[in-house]
């Protein structure tokens, strides 16, 4: 019994290790071709096959740019937060660089949506504008009022004394 159990367990471990190595290399959870947001726009705007092709190219380029910017931001944050004991590090400079990278991300998002809008027909552009405006306001339409205390306001509209 023992003599057959050891080789069986060894083969099982080798197979499991091979499977885990495959998962680490291929990362199937990160290689999703069609994200839900992408499919949502394609369906809502009822893109033609030609529009889908153009959209996929725009989306691929957009994702590559965003990933690159995210990596650069992460690198700057790593430098910043690993510099607690280093007085020679120019903290303001790192924060400025990081802020500029965030600006580039915002510009990229705007550029992407502007490019997507350009491939739409006039009717699709109306629907696109509705989708973007709804997304900016949030799913419920209007943004909820800010109430940091999470308590209802007192009579007269004045906040409670602190």
In this structure, what token pair is assigned to residue 155?
């009579």
* Residue-range domain boundaries for the chain: 35-136
pLDDT confidence bin for 144, thresholds 50/70/90: very low
What CATH number does the domain located at 35-136 have?
A: 1.20.120.1490
31-48 pLDDT per residue, tens: 555 567 778 888 999 999
Pick the residue with more confidence: 102 or 83?
Answer: 102
Instruction: Give residue for tokens 């990160």.
Output: 30
CA distance 46 to 127: 10
Sign of CA dihedral 120, 103, 35, 25: positive
Predicted TM-score of the model (pTM):
0.62
Pick the residue with more confidence: 94 or 139?
Answer: 94
65-94 pLDDT per residue, tens: 999 999 999 998 988 888 888 787 788 888
Whole-number Cα distances in Å, 80 to 87, 93, 97, 144: 11, 10, 11, 35
CA distance 115 to 133: 16
């Amino acid at each position: 019994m023992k003599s057959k159990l050891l080789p069986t367990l060894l083969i099982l471990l080798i197979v499991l290790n091979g499977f885990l190595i495959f998962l680490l290399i291929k990362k199937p959870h990160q290689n999703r071709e069609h994200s839900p947001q992408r499919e949502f726009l394609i369906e809502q705007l009822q893109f033609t096959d030609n529009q889908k092709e153009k959209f996929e190219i725009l989306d691929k380029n957009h994702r590559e740019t965003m990933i690159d910017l995210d990596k650069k931001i992460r690198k700057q944050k790593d430098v910043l937060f690993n510099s607690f004991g280093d007085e020679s590090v120019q903290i303001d400079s790192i924060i400025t660089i990081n802020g500029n990278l965030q600006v580039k991300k915002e510009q990229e998002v705007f550029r992407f949506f502007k490019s997507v809008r350009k491939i739409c027909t006039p009717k699709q552009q109306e629907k696109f504008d509705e989708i973007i405006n709804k997304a900016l306001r949030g799913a419920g339409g209007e943004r909820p009022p800010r109430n940091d205390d999470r308590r209802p306001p007192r009579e007269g509209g004045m906040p409670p004394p602190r």
